Amino acid sequence: MLSHERTKDLEKQGYRIIGKHSAIKICYWCKNSLRNDGVCYKNTFYGIMPWRCIQASVTLDICNLKCQWCWRDINLDIPRKLEFNDAPKDIVDGFILEQKKILQGFKGNSIVNMKRFKEAMKPKHVALSLTGDACLYPKLHYLIKEIKDRDMTSFLVTNGTFTSMLKKLRNEQPTQTYITLPAPNEEVFNEVCKPFDKDSWNNIMNSLRLLGDFDRGTIRLTLAKGMNMLNAEEYSELLKDVDFKFLELKAAMSIGDARYRMTLENMPYHSEIKDFGNKIAKLNKLRIVAEKKDSRVVLLMKKEEGRKLNIN
């Protein structure tokens, strides 16, 4: 579904296209971890090895929201007819093949941790969080099973507007299922996310009610000052009846195409994220159980929950 010009542009940015609508891109922390230069917050919080993690998309460039902090080009036209019909097996084969190919260049680098490099040649985790919303892919539940059958783990990040797919995923669950709560109320949501569908906010609310059916149901707040980082009390009210295991608060970053829609002033400092998290924690009887300052992210859990975080 991608034009030749768009494909070339994405490849210049480091994407590797798989089939008709999927892609991977090596993330910053995957590269750094191979050089013994730090790990991502998913490692700090959940034990994910970033050098064995594939950052992926099965609906490249396609989303039904235009969140102002998104790093993709939200001005692209969405095709009238969406055909996400590549087979799950072919997609996962492509993920692994392209990940291994693009990492080959690290083998000759003297500062690379060779133990980690060898482990990286056997990817262990897929993060469906690159661009677009994976819940648009009608075979997503089969894709999750394909990943699981290969003894790999998966994180799914969705905007929560595709409630019908989340219902299917209850029977074939990702290792961890994220729903992004992008605003404290519908008015702010319509302003900063510009949904295509007028029912999007209600769909998010309905999806949040399903989180309790997932073993590791997680809510993500990606926060930008002057956009959606406001009214902690309203966020708290939305969260109070949701059965979730984890709540992540993370600073929106002015990277990729987000640079044209937000400035450095919109990026919260870690201390501001933590303060906002403490407000919500106090209102909802939560506690901050982990944080990573260089990623500007904090992790909250319910006070009565145990502290087993790792996915293994």
Q: Identify the band that residue 306 occupies on the pLDDT scale cut at 50, 70 and 90.
A: low
pLDDT above 90: residue 12:
yes
Would residue 308 count as lying in a domain? no
Please answer whether residues 153 and 311 qualify as being in contact, where contact means their C-beta atoms are separated by less than 8 angstroms.
yes
Total tally of structural domains belonging to the chain: 1
Would residue 312 count as lying in a domain? no
Please answer whether residues 303 and 280 qualify as being in contact, where contact means their C-beta atoms are separated by less than 8 angstroms.
no
Domain with 158 in it: 4-302
Question: How far are the Cα atoms of 68, 166, 183 from residue 230, in angstroms, in the given order?
Answer: 15, 28, 8
Would residue 177 count as lying in a domain? yes
* Helices 270-284 and 232-239, axial angle in degrees (round to 10): 50
Residue-wise pLDDT for 140-155, tens only, equals 999 999 999 999 999 9
Would residue 113 count as lying in a domain? yes
Please answer whether residues 258 and 71 qualify as being in contact, where contact means their C-beta atoms are separated by less than 8 angstroms.
yes
The token pair that represents 126 in the structure block: 């897929």
What pLDDT, on the 0 to 100 scale, is given for residue 235?
98
pLDDT above 70: residue 307:
no
Would residue 311 count as lying in a domain? no
Would residue 233 count as lying in a domain? yes
Mean pLDDT throughout 69-79? 84
What pLDDT, on the 0 to 100 scale, is given for residue 202?
98
Mean pLDDT of the residues in the chain: 95
CA 194 to chain centre: 19
Higher-pLDDT residue of 79, 85:
85
Mean pLDDT throughout 170-189? 98
pLDDT above 70: residue 171:
yes
What pLDDT, on the 0 to 100 scale, is given for residue 303?
78
Please answer whether residues 154 and 124 qualify as being in contact, where contact means their C-beta atoms are separated by less than 8 angstroms.
no
Mean pLDDT throughout 34-63? 96
pLDDT above 80: residue 47:
yes
What pLDDT, on the 0 to 100 scale, is given for residue 1?
67
Percent of the chain exceeding pLDDT 70 equals 98
CATH classification of the domain holding 43: 3.20.20.70
pLDDT above 90: residue 76:
no
Would residue 65 count as lying in a domain? yes
pLDDT above 80: residue 287:
yes
Would residue 68 count as lying in a domain? yes
